[in-house]
């Protein structure tokens, strides 16, 4: 009775133990035990030849094994150095591990699962029908697929086809260069785009979407919330159902405003709602007010402006009342005369006192007056009148 133990460490340890009852000169070809290898099964088609200290293990019919390799299972193929193929029809390249029915692993790759294909160099495919087909790719989950260089797909049906792309979640898809799709049914198809959340689709270049059920087709645009469907380039949309509004007098909701203002031509919008879903923006600092400022103003600044406008309105009404209160004095030759008046106009009032004198020959007269209104202001007037001849 002879016992043999063989172990191989590839991130995990595979230990094979066999109790072999083989006579020294046995003629059986099913089991072959050599000094540096174990071969068990019919029709082992490839074994290390003329290689001293091959240290190979082949278990199963029609297996193929190379130096320092392990092939276990019907038609398992581990011909390359350091390969490990476990399962029917598995195939592993140099220093790779393939485990599961018809799993395939490329150079220094790992494939675990039925029909898993980690064929790219330094790739990893874990899960039934998982595919990591380009270099430095990762595919975790049933039918996950990472086919872009250095891409990663995690979750059932997740697909990462863009170079340096990442897809996380059931049916997540990242198809553009450096795109990121995170969440069930998420899609990132714009270059450098990011989708985060269930049903979030970002197709615009360098755009970012977070939430649920978002369609962001615009470039350089941020959308955060739920059910955001109408976006605009170079813009920001925040909140449930936020959207941009496009007035008929502008193109696409942005355009040029007539006037001598700073920032008269808008390149995008910031929206926090839509018609019927309006929202307030709170805790906004006071904006800089100047000829060239493009700051937003807050409620207190507008309140101060409104107060000033109201003061001007009252002053104007009081001024009208004062003008109405002035009276012309009588014209009596050689005499002094006077007149007093009072008036009220739209909540404001005024009184006046007027004094005048006409020349003895009646050809000219001079007069003056003073008024006081309900706003506490005092007014003066002076005048001269006469006749030619």
**Parallel/antiparallel/unpaired status of strands 194-196 and 208-212:** parallel
Strand, helix or coil for residue 315:
helix
CB 299 within 8 A of CB 285: no
d(CA 147, CA 161): 5
Write out the two tokens for 376: 């506490």
Write out the two tokens for 66: 């190379």
Domains of the chain are 1-134 (2.150.10.10), 148-247+267-277 (2.150.10.10), 294-389 (3.30.1300.30)
d(CA 78, CA 82): 8
C-alpha angle with apex 308: 305 to 313, nearest 5 degrees?
A: 125
Closest listed residue to residue 79, CA positions, set 115, 123, 49:
49
Q: What is the number of other CB atoms lying within 10 angstroms of the CB of residue 212?
A: 18
Handedness of CA 24, 25, 26, 29 (dihedral sign): positive
Non-local (6+) Cβ contacts of 387 within 8 A are: 362, 363, 364
Q: Residue 330 has what DSSP assignment?
A: P
Q: Residue 265 has what DSSP assignment?
A: B
List, run by run, the mean pLDDT of 10-residue segments along the chain (389 residues).
37 34 40 57 56 73 91 94 96 97 97 97 98 97 97 98 98 98 98 97 97 96 94 91 63 52 78 87 89 89 93 94 93 93 96 95 93 94 89
DSSP letters for 241-260: T------TTSBTTB-B--SS
Q: Residue 213 has what DSSP assignment?
A: S
Strand, helix or coil for residue 188:
strand
CA distances to 139, 236, 296, 317, 356 from 267, rounded to whole Å, are: 40, 12, 16, 43, 65
**Parallel/antiparallel/unpaired status of strands 378-386 and 364-373:** antiparallel
Most distant CA pair in the chain, distance: 163
3-state helix, strand, coil in the chain (%, to 5): 5, 35, 55
CB 338 within 8 A of CB 353: yes
CB 98 within 8 A of CB 87: yes
Q: What is the number of other CB atoms lying within 10 angstroms of the CB of residue 28?
A: 8
Non-local (6+) Cβ contacts of 57 within 8 A are: 6, 8, 16, 37, 38, 39, 65, 69, 70, 71, 72
- pLDDT for the residue numbered 80: 93
What spatial distance separates the first Cα and last Cα of the chain, rounded to whole Å?
155
- pLDDT for the residue numbered 267: 78
Write out the two tokens for 366: 């001079």
Non-local (6+) Cβ contacts of 162 within 8 A are: 148, 151, 174, 175, 176, 177, 178, 179, 191
d(CA 388, CA 187): 92
Q: What is the number of other CB atoms lying within 10 angstroms of the CB of residue 90?
A: 29
């Amino acid at each position: 009775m002879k016992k043999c133990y063989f172990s191989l460490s590839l991130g995990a340890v595979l230990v094979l133990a066999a109790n072999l009852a083989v006579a020294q000169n046995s003629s059986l070809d099913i089991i072959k035990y050599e000094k540096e290898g174990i071969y068990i099964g019919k029709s082992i088609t490839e074994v290390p030849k003329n290689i001293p200290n091959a240290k190979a293990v082949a278990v199963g019919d029609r297996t193929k094994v190379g130096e320092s390799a392990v092939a276990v299972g019907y038609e398992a193929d581990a011909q390359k150095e350091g390969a490990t193929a476990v399962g029917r029809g598995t195939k592993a390249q140099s220093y790779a591990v393939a485990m599961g029915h018809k799993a395939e692993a490329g150079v220094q790759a790992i494939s675990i699962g039925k029909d898993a294909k980690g064929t790219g160099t330094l790739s990893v495919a874990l899960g039934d029908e998982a595919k990591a087909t380009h270099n430095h790719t990762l595919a975790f989950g049933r039918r996950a697929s990472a086919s872009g260089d250095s891409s990663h797909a995690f979750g059932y049906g997740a697909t990462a086809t863009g170079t340096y792309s990442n897809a996380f979640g059931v049916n997540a898809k990242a198809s553009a260069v450096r795109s990121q799709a995170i969440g069930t049914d998420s899609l990132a198809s714009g270059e450098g785009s990011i989708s985060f959340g269930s049903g979030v689709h970002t197709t615009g270049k360098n755009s970012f979407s977070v939430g649920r059920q978002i369609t962001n087709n615009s470039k350089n645009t941020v959308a955060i919330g739920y059910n955001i469907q109408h976006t605009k380039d170079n813009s920001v949309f925040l909140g449930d159902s936020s959207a941009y509004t496009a007035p008929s007098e502008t193109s696409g909701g942005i355009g040029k405003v007539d006037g001598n203002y700073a920032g008269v031509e808008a390149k995008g919008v910031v929206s926090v709602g839509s018609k019927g879903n309006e929202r307030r923006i709170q805790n906004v600092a006071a904006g800089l007010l100047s000829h060239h400022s493009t700051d937003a103003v807050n409620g207190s600044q507008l309140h101060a402006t409104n107060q000033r406008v109201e003061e001007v309105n009252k002053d104007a009404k009081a001024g009208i009342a004062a003008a109405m209160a002035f009276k012309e004095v009588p014209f009596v030759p050689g005499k002094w005369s006077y007149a007093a008046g009072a008036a009220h106009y739209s909540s404001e009032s005024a009184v006046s006192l007027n004094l005048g004198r006409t020349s003895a020959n009646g050809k000219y007269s001079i007069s003056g007056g003073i008024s006081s209104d309900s706003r506490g202001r005092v007014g003066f007037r002076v005048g001269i009148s006469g006749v030619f001849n």
